[in-house]
Amino acid sequence: MPITPLHFGPALIARAALGPRFGLLGFLVSQVLLDLEPGLKLFGFADEGAGLHEWHTWALAPAFALVAWVLAVGTQWVMRRVGQRLVFVGQRLAWLRSSSWSEAGGAIVGVVSHLLLDAVYHADVAAAVGLPGAWGLVPQSTIDLSLLALLPISAVILWHKCRASTG
């Protein structure tokens, strides 16, 4: 995807449907981690080397899921501690809470869906994940517009969840 937040829309909708059974933080962190490399390369902070998406492989997927899970669980821990001290903040963040297992699932779903979606979007990712025929199955503009359309829907969901959690 050209813009990492385009991956977020479907995740917020999944969270709305599944509640705390879907680890939203694990999913979101996995998206950011996977797109760190192309982001650094696009902005000139890293050499493009062999390609823009060298980290987008099944071999590295477990490592990304593990790091995303650890960061999500750590964030959950911090949110609980902050919430205990600052009740207002804790109430605002309550809707984000999930179990460690949910965050592990969110991280795994995040990495797998990211690789599959990027395989349809980028030829180099399609080749790296062993799906060379996936690239171009759906026009990039259709993917962009679909995910872009989900962002306002997701924003409404996010606003509603934050508002509902404060009573």
Q: Which conformational region is residue 16 in: left (phi greater than 0), alpha (psi within -120 to 50 degrees), or beta?
A: alpha
Number of domains in the chain: 1
Q: Which of 1-10, 106-115, 136-145 has the lowest mean pLDDT?
A: 1-10
SS3 at position 59: coil
- 162 pLDDT band, cuts 50/70/90, is low
Q: What is the pLDDT of residue 1?
A: 46
Domain of residue 141 covers 4-53+61-165
Q: What is the pLDDT of residue 46?
A: 76
> Is residue 58 within 8 Å of 116, Cβ to Cβ?
no
pLDDT digits (tens, 9 = 90+) for 64-111: 999 999 999 998 888 877 766 666 655 666 777 889 999 999 999 999
Does 167 score more than 60 pLDDT?
no
Q: What is the pLDDT of residue 87?
A: 61
pLDDT digits (tens, 9 = 90+) for 21-59: 999 999 999 999 998 888 887 777 877 776 667 888 999
Q: What is the pLDDT of residue 83?
A: 67
Contacts of 88 (CB under 8 A, 6+ apart): 166
In 3D space, the residue among 83, 107, 111 whose CA is nearest the CA of residue 97 turns out to be 83
Residue ranges of E strands in 90-154: none
Q: What is the pLDDT of residue 88?
A: 61
